[in-house]
Structures are given as C-alpha cells and as structure tokens.
Structure 1
C-alpha cells in the first residue's frame, strides 16, 4: 500500500472503526448511566415510554373490561343541550344535575355526536387513550425543560399508574380533559406565551372548576412577570373565555348557570371520600369543618407566598427581563404552580378516586423539590399509590394519605430559598450580563 493510500485511510475511517466509535460513545456504561440518571437526557427515555404507553393503552382497551361510572350521566346531561335545552337547572343525568361549566358541555356534546350518542364506547376509549398520550407528552416536556427529574422516574410515572390508566380509558372522566388543558397552559407559560396560555388555562377551568387551585400562584406570576397592566389583560382573557362559552346559558338563566356550574358549596358524599374516612360523617358534612379547611388553605397560600413564591417569581421575572433561558428559570415558575394546586388538594373537603389525576404527575416534581433522600421520596410515592388504590378507603388509608401530603409540604417548606441561594443567583446573573 502506498503512503498516499495510508493517508486516505486515516482520513476515512473504516466501517469497523465507525461502529467502534459509536459503541464507545453511545453504548458505553457511562452513557447508559447518563441515560438513566442525567435529567438532560430525559427526552430520550420519554420517547421510549410514550411509544410503550401507546401499546399499553391499546392492550388495556382490548383486554380489560370497561367500567361504567359517569359516562352515561355525561351523555344524558349534554343530550338535553342537543335537544335544545339551555337552562342549566334543567340538565340532569342519572347521577344528578349538571354541575360543570359550559366547556364541559361543548366537549362532551362533541363526543356525544362522534360516538353515536355515547353508544360507541370503544371509540370513546381510543379517543381518551390519545388524550392520555397528549397529556404525557405535555408533562414530559415540562420535566425535560426544567431538568429536574432523572429519567428513571419515568418507570414510576408510567408503570405504577394503574388507577391513572383506569381514569382515562376505562372511566372516561372529564377530569382527564381538564388536566390536558392545564398542562398545555403551563407549557405555554414557560415558553412565554402568556396570552394563549391564559386562554387555554381558562378552557381548563371551563371543563372542571378544580383547575382554579392553580390560580393563586398564577395570579402572582402575572403580577411579578407582567406587571399590573398586563395582569388585567390576562384576567380579561380568562374572563372573556368563560363569558363566551357560557353565553347561551347565561342568556337563558344566568343565575341558574352560575349557581350550578360554579357551586363552591356543593356537599360531597361521605361514602366516596378518599381523604377523610377516619372522620365521623357528621363532622365531614359540617360547614364549620369546611370553613376551617378554607381558612387553612388561605393560611398555607400566604405562608408559601412569603417563604417561596415571592423570591421564586421575583427571580424568574428578573431572568425574563434580561432574556436568559436557563433550567433554573423554568423551575422558578413550575414549582409555585404545582405547589399551589397541591396545597388545595391537601386541604380539600373531599377527594374522590378520579381526583388522583389532579396531581399524580406533579408528585415526583414536588418530591424532587425537597431535600429528602431518593429512597424516602420513592417511599412516599409508593404509599400515596397504595392509599389511592385502597378501595373502599379506610381510616388508615385516609390517615396515611394525609401524612404523605404533610411530608411533601414540610419537605418543600424546609427547602425554601435562603439569602445565600438568592445571592448565588444574583452573582450568576451578573456574570451573564
């Protein structure tokens, strides 16, 4: 072989050399370790799990028997609208009167027509399976953007969620639709699309009122990041969506629509409660107990506003002002939103089994916002899963659920921002500038 041929060979590696290089770069032990533990590689594992979830949901629909709970009632409620009834007080189903805002009506009215008046259950299940994949995509994007969770947490998010799969493809609850909208809104907020985000957030509220649990932190985010003038603009967008969707019902019976769709005083049935089973029923339905929970809710919001959200959102606004896109910036907005929702759930007057979807996908993020050990974090997740899968609920499952909730709140509180951490952020920003 001539010297020229040898030089050409050096410049153009053989196929064997290329494969060897790829092996050492992508199949090495170090790279596999990174795929498992490094949050920067979260998106790679997420793609794999999304593909697996498509298959899992198809298998569930094909092999597991559908369980009728609220679907027929939903169809009966929107059938009244299909027949020309716009008075909310006249819309009812087997489970009672319609108690959800107008967005719910339009979405399930669409499903009513698509599924042949609600009779094609299989088609509805596949639509909710697609909805579940969309929700996971939105949640995974939040996790990837924040660089908070290690990729191995996908195993626990996807593989231990028996009840979550059931809520979507075996029960078809409206809670699923509402949570897809809210995660879409959070993605828009962290991308800086505040106006569209507010619109989508309001759509979520129009499906189910529990989405308002995010509102305290979102209002503070508006004020800190956008200022008073733009906050009024965002609130106007939210209000306009509600008025526009509810307009036909408001024109027919405004008092009836507002009373039925935004009834904050609704009394829940004790037999379905997941979180207060250890209480006597007379205390569970007592209005003084409800008032005490409301006061506690307000106190916790004020506490975390003072200890966490003020600093988080102030620093987030500063980073936005200088145009800096960092992992930390994303976290400073996400945690207040997730925590605001979690506080509301912790002091809720009652939690039913389908309400698990309200916060299931935020629990790993909240636990990774504490200083707990990984073992303890996983233990708390496992115990919460145990509580939600204990049917019917018992005094010990309800009590244990409260203990887990309080542990998370205490962990996040103890990991509150300090002057030293704030100073480190200021120094980092000064270097950037």
Structure 2
C-alpha cells in the first residue's frame, strides 16, 4: 500500500516536472520569436550610436593590409588592445557587411538571438530558475543597446563563452576549453571565469585531463596569435594581454564615487586585486569545496593523485581524463559566482561590460535565499543603475550596494552537492 502511494507520488512529481518543462519550452519559443521582432524594430527605428565601430574597422583594415605590428594597429579610439581572435572575427564581419553599419546591426541582431537561445539552453539544464523568470533575460534596455546599437566585441566574446558553458555542462571539457580560449581571444574579460574554471577542473579531471585540456586552450592562443608572435611578439603580448590598463574615470559605472586621483592610482588597483583574490579563496574554501572538506584538502588530495599518476607513467597515459561527473548546477554556480566576484572588484565597468554578467544575473538572484520580491527588486535596481547616463556617485554607490547584497545572499545560500557519480554510489 505504502509502496503504491510512493509510486503514485513519484509519478505525480514527474508529471508536474514534465508539465513545467513544456511550459518553459513554450515560453522560450515565444520569447525568442518576440525578441526577433523587437530586434528588427530596434534596428529600424532607434538611431545607431557610433562608439567603437569605426575604430574596429580601422584596426581590421590595417591587419588586412598586411600590418602585423600591434603597435601600428590603431583606430580613432586608440591602439588595438584585444587578442588576435578579435581581428579574425571583425575581419569576417567586415567581409560580410562591407564595413557598413546597417548590415552589421542585422548580423549582431542575429547574434543576440543566438546568444539568448544558448542562454535559455543553459538555464533549462537546471531547475534553479522558475519558468516564468526566463522573461527577465529579455528585459534589459542596456543589453539590447550593447548588441544592436553599439556592436561591441563584448557581445561576440560572451556568446562564444556561453557556447563553451553548454559544452561544459555536458562534461565536454576539452572542447569547452577550446571554445573558452577562443572567447578569450576576442576579449580578455572572459579570463574572469578562469579561476573558478580551474577549480572545477581540479574537481572533475585527472592530472592527465587537466594538462591535456589546458594544452588545448594554449594551442588555440598560439595558433591564433602566430602571425604576430612570429613577427612582433613583444608588441603583441604586451598590448593584447595588458592587464594593467587604466580606464578613464568618466566612463566608470561602478566607482564613480571614488575621487579621480584614487581611481587611477596603482594602490587602488592592487587593493581591488587583493580583495578579488581573497573573496575568491573564501568562496572556494567555505562554499564550493565544502563538500570535499575545504580548498586545502581538495588541493592536497589532487596533488597526491597527481604525484601518484606521474610516478606510474603507464597509469598516467591510460587513466581516464574525467574522474568525477559534476552537477550542472554546481558548474554554473561556481562559474557565475566566480565571474560575479571579479565584476564587483573590477576597477572600472564601462556600459558594455554589463554584458559580462547580465545573463547570469537571474541565476545568481535565484541562488540566494531571498524572497522573490527582493530578487526582483535587486534585478530592477541593477538594471536602473546601468541605464543612468552618465553615471553618478549615487548610481555607482547604489550599484555597489546591490552587488554586495547579492554576494551576501550567495554567501549564506545552502551548500550544494557537487558530484553526480558519488551521489549515485
């Protein structure tokens, strides 16, 4: 009798879940269709804003003209500061659009829809977000502007990154690292995902798997940068991978309340870096590795396994690359929170940088234990701050407060089970 009741309850739960999935699928289709119409309307009716497009085209023209010295690839906004993947992508865009804005806007409209579809696929792989909250991914005025009216390379980089995350969710580590590296080659902000990604690799892969996956990522960087590495390597490395750039205070969305002399100081940059690394370590030790007993125990265990594998060379070459299968929710939590920590500690967030974390914002909000109304207010508050132009001391202070509130919610959220295979055993 009890067993029959249990089976009936299970069947009811499965039916309810199936019904929820069907509602999500219907909503996703409706949202993509609606967004396609909205994209067309934006491109047709809203005036294009010229910011970086002409500079991109000038830099690409120099590259296509045979220039391989990064010191000589410049535009009206300054020298080229992106890795080689950027040049290949925008060379292709120039080829298909003739360097004209309207065809490029149409292309970026298609990119926006493709990215949104990928993000919906990512969210559909977990039960974190209720089906109705998928609408939040379509409500940002600033994100629509970044894609269709500004044509920033951030859009390309984040779309490629989201594709890498899909592969990661299905444990395709090597393919994911290749795509991840391609995203880095378009814009360096993707490296904010690197520390949490490395932690996930330590959890899921053997030393053989880690080394081979990292080798794939490194190969992509070398292959894409080869024309420049063989000619002017110092200029390429120093400009394309410059982590010490100082941004103009006026454009800062997050630290406008900080006096200019402090904002541009090296001490401020170092302080933010120390805070960034400290918060990452705290989350890694107390949240992401709690199940394993903490970060130090995980590192000690992985070091022991690595030494064992390397000492038994035959075992090293024959061992499996994947040692544990990770929960999709755990993968997304570690990556999205790790990136979010980097966003909070970034010295300057320009308006296009909102795309670096907007698509993870609903996930982050629903990972907090806050009531739904608080989550929605936080979402609206963040969106408001990013639409204040020019930013003010108040809007940047408000944004920092909202970010820290979300981070606090993530800190007090329950610890999740990271491994599927151990759960099964």
Is 1:64 paired with 2:64? no
Residue 146 (1) aligns with residue 144 (2): no
Greater relative CO, 1 or 2 (CA 8 Å, sep 6+): 2
Q: How far does residue 154 in structure 1 lie from its aligned partner after superposition?
A: 2.4
Q: Relative to 1, partners in 2 of residues 1:196 and 1:349: Cα closer, same or farther, differing over 3 Å?
A: same
Q: Hey, what does 1:407 align to over in structure 2?
A: 405
Task: Provide the residue aligned with 1:10 in structure 2.
Answer: none
TM-score normalised by the chain length of structure 1: 0.85
Task: Could you tell me which runs of 5 or more consecutive residues in structure 2 were left unpaired when the two chains were aligned.
Answer: 1-14, 295-301, 303-321
Q: 1:363 aligned to 343, 361, 381, which one?
A: 361
Q: Do 1:313 and 1:333's aligned partners in 2 also have CA atoms closer than 8 Å? A: no
Q: Deviations over 1:59-115 (max 9, x none)?
A: 111111111110000000110011110111110000000000000000001112222
Query: 2:263: which partner in 1?
Result: 284
Match for residue 103 of structure 2 among 123, 126, 129: 123
Pair 1:56–1:115, CA change in 2 (3 A): same
The 3 A distance-change label for structure 1 pair 33 and 336 is: closer
Deviations 1:373-422 (A, max 9, x none): 000000000000010000000011000000011011100100141xxx76
1:39 positional shift: 6.2
Q: 1:90 aligns with which of 52, 72, 83?
A: 72
Instruction: Judge conservation of contact 2:161–2:183 (CA < 8 Å) in 1.
Output: yes
Question: Is 1:44 paired with 2:26?
Answer: yes
Distance in 2 of aligned mates of 1:252 and 1:405: 44
Question: Runs of 4 or more off by more than 3 Å in structure 1?
Answer: 31-35, 38-41, 311-315, 320-323, 428-433
Q: TM-score, normalised by structure 2?
A: 0.86
Equivalent residue for 1:262, pick from 232, 235, 241: 241
Pick the structure with greater CA Rg: 1
Distance 1:336 1:322 in 2: 16
Q: How much does 1:192 deviate? A: 1.4
Q: State how many pairs are aligned.
A: 385
Tell me the distance in 2 between the aligned counterparts of 1:409 and 1:73. 36
Distance in 2 (CA, whole Å) between partners of 1:363 and 1:289 is 26
Mapped to 1, the partners of 2:62 and 2:186 lie a distance apart of 18
CA distance in 2 between partners of 1:431 and 1:188 (Å): 22
Distance 2:37 2:76 in 1: 34
* Unaligned runs of at least 5 residues, structure 1: 1-30
Specify whether residues 431 and 407 from structure 1 end up closer, same or farther in structure 2 by C-alpha distance, changes over 3 A only. closer
TM-aligned CA deviation for residue 44 of structure 1: 2.3
**d(CA) in 1 for partners of 2:291, 2:101:** 45
